[in-house]
Structure 1
Amino acid sequence: MQAPLPPADEEQRRRDVLEAGLRETTARLQQALEELRWKTTRLEEAEALRASEAEFRVMAESMPQIVWITRADGWCTYFNQQWMDYTGLTLAASLGHEWNKAVHPEDQLRAWEAWQHATATTGVYSLEYRLRRADGDYRWWLVRGVPQQDAGGNVLKWFGTCTDIHDLKQAEQEVLHTNQALRESEERFAGAFEHAPIGVALVSPDGQWLKVNRALCKLVGYTEAELLTRTFQDITHPDDLAADLECVRQLLAGETRSYQMEKRYIHAGGHLVTVLLNVSLVRDAQDQPRYFIAQIQDITERKRTEQSLRLLSSAVEQSKESIMITDAELDLPGPRIIFVNPAFTQMTGHTATEAVGRTPRLLQGPRTDRAVLNRLRENLRQGDTFAGETVNYRKDGTEFDLEWQIAPLRDASGAITHFVAIQRDITERKRLEAQLLQSQKMETVGRLAGGVAHEFNSILTAIIGQSELLIGDLPTGGALAKNAAEIRKAADRTATLTRQLLAYGRRQLLKPEALDLNEVITGMSGMLHHLMGGEVNTQILPAPGLHAVRADAGQMEQVIMNMVINARDAMPGGGKLTLETANVTLDQTYVSQFPESELSAGDYVMLAITDSGTGMGAGVKARVFEPFFTTKGVGQGTGLGLSSCYGIIKQSGGHISVYSEPGRGTTFKIYLPQMAVQSQASARRPAPADLPCGTETILLVEDDPALREMAATLLRRLGYTVWVAANGIDALSLRLERGTGPVDLLFTDLVMPHMSGMELADRVQALDATTRVLFTSAYTKNAIIHQGMLKQGVTLLQKPFTPSSLARKLREVLDQPRHEHVLHAGC
């Protein structure tokens, strides 16, 4: 049993209990007070929210736009009355996701996907689409929505509006259509302006070009940018400017509404262009001048045609050829003469007054060929052209040979209205033809010999060269030496026989004189440049110290002219022509290769004429000097030019030869004896032992079998190692297959089938840059350099060559410093 506390302690205990109870009660009262305050705040907030929502609804209902609210997940909870009024839907039928039914079917998927994206990303929702109106029509609306988020960024609701943009949308479409139509109109105008077949321009009242089309730019030769910096006055011919400016003044003053005139512009290239100008003036609403519209047609060709017609009329009147025009009546007595030119009167003696109204029968007589007249009548009945020859008679009864061509003239429907005849007195030509016919008969044997000489040129060279080698190698007096000498004599007799045959038939009368060929060709320089025109690069290379020759100056000029004309005709697209001279010495080995030339060993002056034209094949070269042989069309050449050159040079004691390859141009070489008498060296041929020798390796490339064999034999006897090929392809194959040591020198023809000598040399030196090169060709060195077939600085041995000249040239090339040759080969 607990003992009772003292009274003081008891009192204290009671106070403690009371204080503890008071504290607990106070705490409970404070908690209750806080709960009361919180509930009061919530009630106030709820009341404020209700008031705010009420205000929002009042505002939303008063707005002209549709207003909507959704939950955070996009579930629609509110539309204002504007939605119901526009769509005709009830609020219940629109809440949730039912609003999408009012969207146009074509826009529903797009609208729904955009809404789903916005709710998923909490981005601003903005889209244009069509909503169905209560009457079933659709209008365009701009629908926008923004999310309401709490402090943590969580979406609480979506608030949005729908704004009617239908009228704005239609206005935009109308503007787009209007702009499109305007652009199309402008494009059509610009296209018509730019692509007009004549020049069109807009010009300011003071003459400044404002806009020009490409036809005008082409017409005057300026670019658009260049023309826009100029005035029409700048390019108008000074003599036409005053009249043009007066027309402009009248137009600006209102005295005329437009004007037309012919005038001349100065082309950017400096020449004149004649135009037909039509100009009108565009004014603004205040009747002030804005710009001129000019249509500019190029009539230069028309003016030239008019001038040509005037020239043609003048040419017909002044022509040396007789021209006759008749009607088209073919029934007897035949067509009537309606026009003859003065040349007709000069040829026949009949004046125009005497001839007009009569038929061409007035020229016929006993020896007029009736068969030709019958053919003439039949051709004309069929509407064909006619060409023929017959005997006609002058007014005084004398005969003359007539050549004439007749062609029908037709109107626009194709009906024949007249016949035009061009008549020519060929009496003198017929006489010359008779003489030439006799000359042709006499030249037949000469042509045969020339053809044989051409074909056997290489063969004779090989025979004579081989016989020389044999004579030098064999013991003097031996049987084989005698046989070799007989071979040489037979070759000489062949050459002599050919020369005798070629001498047959000469009938020219020449007036030889001391002549400097350098003076001849330089004196003809201006005429030759004029004759060749600007498209042919003509180069004249007179050799210094050229000896005189004995020849007819006029005939030599004729020879040069004939050859230059042939060269020009061989270069219709332009090219290069070279005339060069040189003093040359021809030894017996050389001249024996041309038995038809009657050349003898000695000193000559050489004239070479080279073109870069189409060249000739073997068939043409074989007949190039034949009388009447020509490769030109009918009426374009008589075929007598080169044959006359051939006869002139032969009778002057000279020689003419041709070197040509298809596509490689042509070289004619003329050799005339020098007038200066010089002592002749002994005709003894050097034996191979007298020739410079060597031990190097040489690659010989020659497409002529006889020359190839002769050169190979000589080179081997001189001590060289020789590889032989017939063309560039075989040579490269041989070079690659052997591959057992260097080739010291390539000796190659320049012009060969399949591959040129220059290309072969480039390829061989690509394999070994130390390989030296010696070219050979029938062309002169200056000519082939001028034509680009050979580089400057390379070494060339001209064909035909003798054994001694080949041996010396080989040592010249092989013994020159290595760096010098490489430099020359590559320059």
Structure 2
Amino acid sequence: MVRGTILAVDDEPDILVALEDLFEDEYRVITTSRPAEALALIAAEPDIDVILSDQRMPGLTGDALLARAREISDAQTILLTGYADISAVVSALNRGGITGYITKPWDPTLLRNAVRSAYERHRLARDLATERALLRGLLDHAGDAIAFKDRQGRFLRLNARMAERLGAPSVEACLGRTEAAILGPAAEMAEAADQAAIESGAPTETTVAGGTEAAQTWTVTRVPIRDAAGTVVHLAVIARDITEQRLLEVRLRQADKMQALGTLAGGVAHDFNNLLTAILGSLELALPKVAGDARLSRLMTNATQAAQRGAALTKRLLTFSHRRDLQARTVDLNAVIRGMDDLLGRSLGGFVQVERALSGDLWPAKVDPDQLELAILNLCINGRDAMPEGGVVALSTRNETVRGSTDPNLQDPNLKPGDYAVIAIRDTGTGIPPEILGRVFEPFFTTKGVGQGTGLGLAMVFGLVQQSGGTIRIDSEVGRGTTVLLYLPRSGEAVETAPSPASAPAPAPRRAHILVVDDDPQVRHVTASFLNGFGYDEAEVPSGEAALERLAAERFDLVVADLAMPGMSGLDLAEAVRERWPALPFLLVTGHAEAARIPADFAVLEKPFPSADLAARVAALLAPQM
């Protein structure tokens, strides 16, 4: 237990010894015979609880000493005096604020009781001061709105945040008043909740809308406070503004939903790619065989074009699911938009006017320009569809810097501080109703009629900007149009020129022996047929395990293997081949959503592929051996 501290001041050493002997069992006792030294001790010892001082001392009387001690210490003070010193007692009461006085010679029991009472008063005063300071600090610095009320609902204490929430001009304007007196009928629900909490005697929490702004949302916690007898006598009310938290929760749920849908989209895209590889490959192999039949050739060409549109749709799925590698490079966004003049003119028709307001000093950004063109085209087409009677689609660009935590832009968890090039696509169409606005990025969600939209346009745009390190925003009002903002991080690199398409090299002159590994028999057959048509000798196996057995028994010049296979994956097979036959070239063919995990030093061909792409990759891998 912490021992209290007593300072005893008397010019007679025998008195000091007697006082020390009387109190040393209960207290820490400091003694001095000089008043000046006593003042120095008081200044140096902030934990002194009680000061005992004789009245008649040379240099400074006790009443004068205790008056000066009161200026630097909150210790309780007791004057020791003779019967003849009653005037000194009155002076000490008036000047020094003493707790009491004890006459000499003292009664030990009376003196002990007086000191004990003074010590307890000092400790209680200090505890009360500490609690007041803590309460004041809590009220002044808490971000929550806090108030204490009596049973009748009158405010006893509250902070400025609560006064602001109530719309009151100051804290003082609320003291002694009820919420009904401040807010009128609007306070009925709050007062009913207060009364329910008092009657239940248990803390309650409710969520309410309103405050100084109608859009605000608050959680209000009410805590009944009991007296020593257990009766509820006061009520603490703590209101927390959770508006921003609710907005972030909505965005987080949306992000989780998009992640789940993206995983689903990636898996669907993988299956599509296998089907499209077999379809496109079979059509390409069959077309030369019906060259003399114009009608059949036209039908097969139509089928090829439809399958190619399916391949483009699959690429959108992969972009949305964040699993397809973007061919990103640093580009001039204005140049990308200007290069779309003809495309937008053909796609939007004559009833839509296209306007541009492009910033002359726009920062470059690192993005896949082909995918960006597709994203802008999708957004412009959406704008056109929202203006059945015609209207304006306006494309503009600007620079924007998102700064520290006070920037309102940072309410968007996908937007980090930094520099952004912003592309805005605005239409003057019908706008998007609020109940639909939260779903527009979901894949396959569309408000268009059957056959008029895939529901992947905005989902693809969402995937593109997120993979590029940016974000997308939509501002829309029914009847006034929609603005879509694409935020792309500023790139510090120089703008790159578009790479020129490489022509496919001719197949190798010799008949190389190639092993084709794929668990899908149709895809395996198409791949092998392509290779055979190039003049290579090919062999087929359905699994990685079968491929290792065949490689151990037979010499091959190249392995072409699918990435996603049950059991041993194509990547597992490639690593095993690299370990056992390090000089043997290996080509991974993939339509899988997680192709991004393939190490950069492995050769990869994405499904679906035309025969020319396969020929080019095979010839390039075999070339070093010739």
Short-chain TM bin? 0.3 to 0.5
TM-score by length of 2: 0.40
Greater RCO, 1 or 2 (C-alpha within 8 Å, sep 6+): 2
Larger radius of gyration: 1
Q: TM-score, normalised by structure 1?
A: 0.32
